[in-house]
Structure 1
Amino acid sequence: MSNGGIQYQIARLSIAEKLIALNVLVFLLDGLSTALMGHSLSTWFQLPKDFLEFIGQPWSLVTYSFFHAGFTHIFWNMIMLYFAGRIFLNLFDAKKFINVYFLGVIVGGLVFLLSYNIFPTLLNTNTALIGASAGVTAVLIFVCTYIPNQEVRVFFFNIKLWYVGAFFVLMDLIQIPYGGNIGGRLAHLGGAFLGYIYARQLFMGNDIGSGFTKLWDGITNLFKPKEKKRAPLRTVYKRNTTADGKTDYDKQAKQRKIDGILDKISKSGYESLSKEEKDFLFKAGKED
């Protein structure tokens, strides 16, 4: 497939599918790095539990979400992101999806950090946080809150979305007392909280992610090529230097032709002109 064909296929993907593709790509590169060098790339991108370590790599508050502990971890996260993303994007645009997803990632990461520094002895099983679960949970709980009575097919049954959301939240709450990935469970709940609050506020007409949208737009605009300013179109007027009627008439006819060409440019662009029209306009400009 040509580069143009690949770019076209990528452009057709939804924002959720692009995130899934990016997560899978990072997972493969991380696995390749571990196999060839015996060292995981996640070391520089995972979210550490210690505040001082975090200050040394603040980007990890977002980048931790692109790394996963194994195939099962990424598989279920991406499956949930795909289905929750499809429902979400039937309601809202890609910008709002990015808001909910990444704000869920950030809030989940902050909950993880705070939990480890407030309860260090309780949460001593994790050393760092990785995985997209907080962002995925934020998207899932958002749609479950926004359209709670919407029914979805689960195996052979139709169940309401809010049942699905309640199930995943309860699973995290139930498993916290039994240890094992407690920090990760709390991060999920942080994402769930963000998704719930975002949806409830949106019901009341408040988009709590509008500031994040402006920040994101500002970042993306830095990488966009600047458009070259087009030179303004110049209307060419001829001075009436003779009283001769025929000469006057010829000059007026010439001006009308110039005006007609300029009007054509304004409507269809310069490339719409014939070679004759381009030459005529060029010569008229030179004569002025």
Structure 2
Amino acid sequence: MTTGIVTCYRHHDRRAGVTCQRCGRPICPSCMVPASVGFHCPECARAGAQQVHTMRSLRAPSGGPVVTQVLIALNAVVFLADLVAGGAASLWASSYSRISEWGLLVGAALGSNGQPIGVADGQWWRIVTSGFLHAGLVHIGMNMLVLWILGSQLEPALGRARFLALYLTSLVAGAFGVLLVSPTSPTVGASGAIFGLLGAAFAAQRARGIDPWRSGLGGLLILNLVITFAVPGISVGGHVGGLLGGLLAGFVVFRLDERTRSAVPAVVACAAITVVLWVGCLWAASHWADPVLGFLSSR
């Protein structure tokens, strides 16, 4: 006796929503790749050389980008508070606001009062708080624009829990890159986490049978990396660290998403990666920045 329920040919525990327009096999929403007419399965999408994809191919019916909106709101509130305190517009000047000096990322340095500050001095919260501080209106404006574009695509595809876990992993990965490359330079901004989202989007397209180089995402990544290395004052460690962290976490998250509907395994995996990166931040701050701070203090 048959039940009449058709399941996805790739995920036998999931109900098929449509059939592939090219091969006719039943596919679930996770396997649906939009085509010029209907939907294709991942295999047919890879085989169709004439097909052009965009970031919209990542969309899935799982709600609006609420977490993205909350993250943007948090960044805006912190920026306004820092601006009122007198630090956001002149963060790199000799005088810092209490908010910016308390929250910026640095492995080891001397504060405005001449006392040591930084992750190496036990101020571990800087690993996270630095990702919500920005050095001026243009800085936060550009970061929040890109966060909205990426978040509005990735969050509906991943779900809120997985997207937030991925964002936080990318943020800590960016901090780890900063503490490895420039541990004594005060650093702020959400760009490390945003580069992580770019890496995750790259992983998402690969996992769903989309060629990132043909969709335009690969070129966008290369362009941003060129800007990172070519323009002075941009955190190379933060951008590259966030990108690599997001790429790794993204591959893990989307592979797990193919195997289970539950968000728990992906969140746990991101948490595990974040813990490793966090330990790396503490190690890098102590082993790379402390000797430099000792030299500065002795002069």
Q: Structure 1 length as normaliser, TM-score? A: 0.56
Instruction: Indicate the residue corresponding to 1:50 in structure 2.
Output: 108
| In 2, Cα distance between equivalents of 1:80 and 1:151 | 21
Q: CA deviation digits over 1:205-243, x for unaligned, max 9?
A: 385641555999xxxxxxxxxxxxxxxxxxxxxxxxxxx
Of the three residues 214, 217, 242, the one matched with 1:164 is 217
Equivalent residues of 2:86, 2:96 under 8 A apart: yes
Evaluate the alpha carbon distance shift between residue 100 and residue 215 of structure 1 in structure 2; reply closer, same or farther with a 3 A threshold: closer
Deviation at 1:39, TM superposition (A): 4.1
| Equivalent residue letter for 1:80 | V
Cα distance, 1:191 vs. partner? 1.0
- 1:116-171 per-position Cα deviation (integer Å, ceiling 9, x unaligned): 35xxxxxxxx721100001111112212321257699xxxxxx954x234423443
Q: Distance in 2 between matches of 1:114 and 1:49?
A: 9
Question: Distance in 1 between the 2:127 and 2:96 partners?
Answer: 21
Instruction: Tell me the alpha carbon deviations over residues 30-59 of structure 1, each in whole angstroms, 9 at most, x when there is no partner.
Output: 000017xx7421101001143873133110
Q: If each structure's helix is expressed as a fraction of its own residues, which one has the higher value?
A: 1
Shift of 1:74: 0.4
Structure 1 position 68 matched with structure 2 position 134: yes
Shift in Å at residue 107 of structure 1? 0.8
Q: How does 1:183-222 map to 2 (within 5 A)?
A: 184-205=235-256, 209-210=267-268
> Match for 1:132 among 190, 196, 200?
190
Q: Which amino acid aligns with 1:81?
A: L
The 3 A distance-change label for structure 1 pair 63 and 72 is same
> Aligned with 1:172: secondary structure?
helix
- Unaligned residue ranges in structure 1 (runs of 5+): 1-11, 118-125, 153-158, 217-288
Could you say which residue in structure 2 is the equivalent of 1:225?
none
**In the TM superposition, what is the alpha-carbon distance from 1:195 to its structure 2 partner?**
1.7
Structure 2: runs of 5 or more not aligned: 1-63, 88-94, 110-116, 258-264, 275-299
- Distance (Å, rounded) in 1 between the aligned partners of 2:197 and 2:273: 20
In the alignment, what sits opposite 2:201? 143
Residues 131 and 204 of structure 1: CA distance in aligned 2, closer, same or farther (over 3 Å): same
Q: Structure 1 stretch 184-193 or stretch 19-28: which is displaced more?
A: 184-193
Paired letter, 1:167 = L
Correspondence for 2:233 among 174, 181, 189: 181
Residues in 1 aligned to 2:273 and 2:245: alpha-carbon distance in whole angstroms:
18
Q: 1:141·1:165 contact (CA, 8 Å) conserved in 2?
A: no
DSSP 3-state at the match of 2:182: helix
Pairwise CA RMSD:
3.2
1:79 maps to which of 139, 145, 164? 145
How many residues align structurally? Answer: 186
Indicate conservation of the 8 Å contact 1:104/1:194, yes or no: yes
CA contact (8 A) 2:133 2:190 kept: yes
> Per-residue displacement from partner, 1:263-283 (whole Å, max 9, x unpaired)?
xxxxxxxxxxxxxxxxxxxxx
Q: CA contact under 8 A between 1:141 and 1:196: conserved in structure 2?
A: yes
Q: For 1:1-288, list aligned pairs within 5 A.
A: 14-34=66-86, 39-40=96-97, 41-50=99-108, 53-56=118-121, 57-116=123-182, 127-147=185-205, 161=215, 163-173=216-226, 175-176=228-229, 178=230, 180-181=232-233, 184-205=235-256, 209-210=267-268
Q: CA deviation at 1:204?
A: 3.6
Larger RCO (CA within 8 A; separation ≥ 6): 2
TM-score, with structure 2 as normaliser: 0.54
Distance 2:194 2:253 in 1: 19
Query: Of the two, which has the highest radius of gyration?
Result: 1
Give per-residue Cα distances to partners, 1:69-106, cap 9 Å, x unaligned.
11111011101111100111221111111111111110
Identity %, equivalent residues: 24
